Amino acid sequence: MAERILIADDDPSLRQLLEAILEEHDFDVIAVPSGEALVRAATSQQPDLLLIDVMMPVMDGLEAIRQLRNDTRTSHLPMLLLTARTSSNDVVIGFESGADDHISKPFDPDALVARIKANLRRQARVPLLNPLTALPGNQAIADEVERRITANEMFALMYIDFDNFKALNDAYGFARGDRVIKLLADILRDLQAQYTADQMFIGHIGGDDFIAITTIELAEQACNELIGRFDHDVRAFYDPADVQRGYLRGVDRFGMPRRFPLVSVSIGVVTTESRMFTSFDEVSSVATEMKSFAKKLTGSAFAINERFHDVPVPASEERRGHPLSIVVVSPDPLLNDALQPMLEDGRCRSISFNEIPTQNEILDYLPDLVTLNVAEPRCWSLAVALRETKPALPLIIVSPHPEDEPRAWHCGAYAFIADPFPPEYYRACVAQLLRLNERIPPLDGNSPA
């Protein structure tokens, strides 16, 4: 696979030149025009090396490097500064900001490529450990899986990921988020210490993604022990008021107010019990799919491929065959009309009530999400009843009165929308709560998040 170089420069002609030079040497190139775009792309595109112009508007290259060095997802990447500033003081400032190398403008194309290759070779010789947890990283994980496949060993691989982790980072900052990541690493080390060296291998892919490889017989026990310990210990990383309330208040990616449960873990487990794999990529694909099943469950959960007849149904096919049920209780038909694009492509079906139904009438449809328009005041008591009976059921409350928002949260709403609102705003909220927009990265982390 070609090594991926991320370029950041606000000069479009220079970006084009750099792309041409690097692509000629078989690099996979991504180019962005600003420091802000660099930070976003570095965390989502998984580059192997960054080539960064110093002088860029708003956020310059030095500040972008500082931010990337403080992010556990990108702190290990080689970062090369490209600059017309050649004084010794400028070079020192660049290195103190976290740069690995300094390339002066104008540059010689052959020398540029040679410096890039040298930094990539240097990175390849770095011990294969994650810098935050000191656990084996991506390459060590891949090597271990390939070794077991080549030796025809029977094994189970656990792909572990956090849920609602961004909400914790947003509320308390990355420092506390890093402590939660270290908590999971410590729990995995404790589990590993219970077994022999051959019975468990643990690794840290990066960010909040971890791997444990164990025997088929121990997989379910290990999942249960990990979940029990994590769910108990993670509460210590929340403020007491948030623990007592059981959730954090925040804003989702669409800018909508939401309540986020405490961080939990989803584990996708793939085993060789009834299927042998030929590559790490195959194991990665099935483990990622099983993690998507686990994420559909409430709270910390795990899903094992053997329980899904070894070949899990892709999420998109599952939704086409079994559309998600959305119950809408509203005297106004506009809510249902706003869902039409989702209904037409078969992802969802809508059950609409113009009159107030009973709780049982709603639950008979096995809803995946309920929307209540409290322009009909009797919907308030229905919201309370649903929350008491089905606390994990996503509930959206719509009201013509913005001042109803505190009451909506008190009734257990997952989202509150003040009417009037654009149809796409409501659709985005539904898609977010049902995870219709969720894109789960493969185990090797090479796809955009």
User: What gap in Å lies between CA 160 and CA 133, rounded to an integer?
Assistant: 15
- For the chain, which domains are there? 4-125 (3.40.50.2300), 138-312 (3.30.70.270), 321-433 (3.40.50.2300)
Looking up tokens 């291998």 gives 201
Whole-number pLDDT of residue 29: 95
Q: Residue 302, exposed/middle/buried by CB under 10 A (0-12, 13-18, 19+)? A: buried
Whole-number pLDDT of residue 267: 94
- List the structure tokens of 357: 């139904």
List per-residue pLDDT tens for the chain, 449 residues long.
689 999 999 999 999 999 999 999 999 999 999 999 999 999 888 899 999 999 888 888 999 998 888 765 687 789 999 988 767 777 788 888 888 888 988 889 999 999 999 999 887 765 567 878 888 888 888 888 998 999 899 999 999 999 989 889 989 998 999 999 999 999 999 999 888 766 899 999 888 999 999 999 999 999 999 999 999 999 999 999 999 888 888 776 556 677 788 999 999 999 998 778 889 988 998 898 888 878 877 789 898 875 443 333 333 333 334 678 899 999 888 887 888 887 877 778 889 998 899 988 898 888 889 999 999 999 999 998 888 778 778 899 999 998 898 888 888 888 888 888 888 888 888 887 876 644 333 444 433 33
Residue type, 177: G
Length of the chain: 449
Strand order through the sheet with 247-251: 247-251, 257-261, 415-418, 395-399, 369-373, 324-329, 348-353
- Report which of 355, 363, 364 is spatially closest to residue 388, judged by C-alpha positions: 363
Residue 95 phi, psi dihedral angles, 5° rounding: -70, -40
Handedness of CA 69, 72, 75, 77 (dihedral sign): negative
Whole-number pLDDT of residue 86: 66
User: What gap in Å lies between CA 303 and CA 287, rounded to an integer?
Assistant: 9
